[in-house]
Chains A and B, each alone.
Chain A
Amino acid sequence: MTSASQIDLDAFRDLAQRFKTRIEQKRWEELAGLLRFPDVWTFDRSMPVAEGIGHLKTILDDAVDIHLWVEKLLKFESADGAGHLSINTCLMWGEPGNFKDHEVELDLHFGFRRANEGDWSIDYFGVTPGTPERVPFPQEPGA
């Protein structure tokens, strides 16, 4: 990987980290501020950004101990002022007042654009079901 690519990857990771923090801290308006484009892709259809955040808010507004864990990098591309980062994640949250816990594996896909050599910004976001981990040499049960 060239150093320029590494710089881009670091910039993309920084933006993805901000995205993650805003979800974990329920900072919905600031999350909207990161997604300044019309639509997001969610599983099997696109919807306006505000609607997508609304769904997330419905699920997480009462939640406690929200954690969006980044499991691994799936894809990274960068060229000519445009870029793409896909990451495998696990979104976890607890219910208030008890110890019930929820987790869902998600792949998050970010598109990035840099205007006039300036800062990168997110210009696409999509979420799909998480990619299962590949286990090349499974152990026999009971071994």
Chain B
Amino acid sequence: MSRPRIVFVTYYRLVPTGQIGIFKRCMRLISRLLDDFEIHLVNFGPLPHTDPLFAEVSQRIEIHPTPDENLGDALHDLFQRLEPRAVVIGESPIRGSLRMAHRVACALGLWQITLDNFYGPLYPAAFIREFPRVDRWLALGLTPDGAPGFRADNVEVIPPLIRFPEGFGSLERDRIAVMGYDKQTLLTGSRLLDLLPADQKADFFIAPQWEAYLRSQCRHLDRPGVRVLSLPPDMELYGSLARSRLILGKAGFQQVVEGLLLGAPIVCQACGGGLEEVIVADYLKPYVRFVPSETALGTVMPVIAAWLDGPPVTRWSQMASEIADPLAYGAGRLAALVDEGP
């Protein structure tokens, strides 16, 4: 018996700033749905073939190219041919290609599930108001009360799609992590290390194209305890974050909440898009700081010093005992939302 089909619609873009988060969360979910569903992918933008998870997943899914012109007609033909059980849109279909995929799915009466960030308690109602023809929502984030999630009407809130490393909670926190997937965050991370004690351990997470730049900017890379990890597998990333006293990363929402769930507060390199002004809810603010550039690190050094000496973030740690594998949980909830369709 053939497996039901799901079409994932996502994007990956490099300019004006690198944005791979939407693509990655879809890949994570897909990785847990492959046995039960026939997965099809419509991606706008290039495919990140060097990403380890995508390299693994891509062998078992069907990837459909997208045309530069008449996208709506092409998606209509594709969706009509595939007759998917559901179309999963990687982010609210606000504009452009995702909006077109949403319009086409509406025209064909297809069951639609959209993934987005849970920015705070007001957002479920806002999703429904803005996009009433989306059938179900899966919102990823951290709840104010520390609970793993909840369901409000057609919106289900679930934890970020991470996995807890073995021994989570009892691992020694002895390092900082720099999520340096863009040039500016790498620069800020390099300057941060200049300001910390000479024996400070650090893990730099980078994309391969930034390694030469990092080596030109950071004079600490040959020190013991300083590692450079180029696009490591997810479990290596989670293992590092679960051992970190703080994270320096781009101001991306999932990066923030994944770090907090793993117990590390985060200093964000502001990167446009207004995250710092709008979408860090009050209950997240004690654990998040923003810096506009490497020259402004002095403004957050007192907080960084306190975080390096202080306890980890435990507000959401009960989740680790209730949901041992948030990624498997999230994929299970998505499968359940698919099954709610006609």
Contacts and interface: CB of A to CB of B under 8 A. Distances in A.
A143 B183 CA distance: 10
Given A72-B274, A92-B95, A99 B15 contact: no
Interface stretch (B99-107, B145-153, B328-336): B99-107
Contacts of A94: 103
Interface string A14-28: 000000000000000
Contact of A99 (B18, B71, B94, B270): B71
B50 to A, nearest CB: 13
Interface string A130-141: 000111111111
A67 B92 CA distance: 13
Contacts of B72: 98-101
Nearest to B13: A139
Given A92-B99, A103-B95, A139 B182 contact: yes
A43 interface: no
A69 interface: yes
Interface string A52-78: 000000000000010101001000000
B48 to A, nearest CB: 12
A94 B107 CA distance: 12
Contacts of A118: none
A90 interface: yes
A69 B16 CA distance: 21
Contact of A136 (B15, B75, B103, B292): B292
Contacts of B106: 65
A3 to B, nearest CB: 14
A142 interface: yes
13 contacts: A65-B103, A92-B95, A99-B75, A99-B76, A133-B272, A133-B273, A135-B16, A135-B17, A136-B271, A136-B272, A138-B17, A139-B15, A139-B18
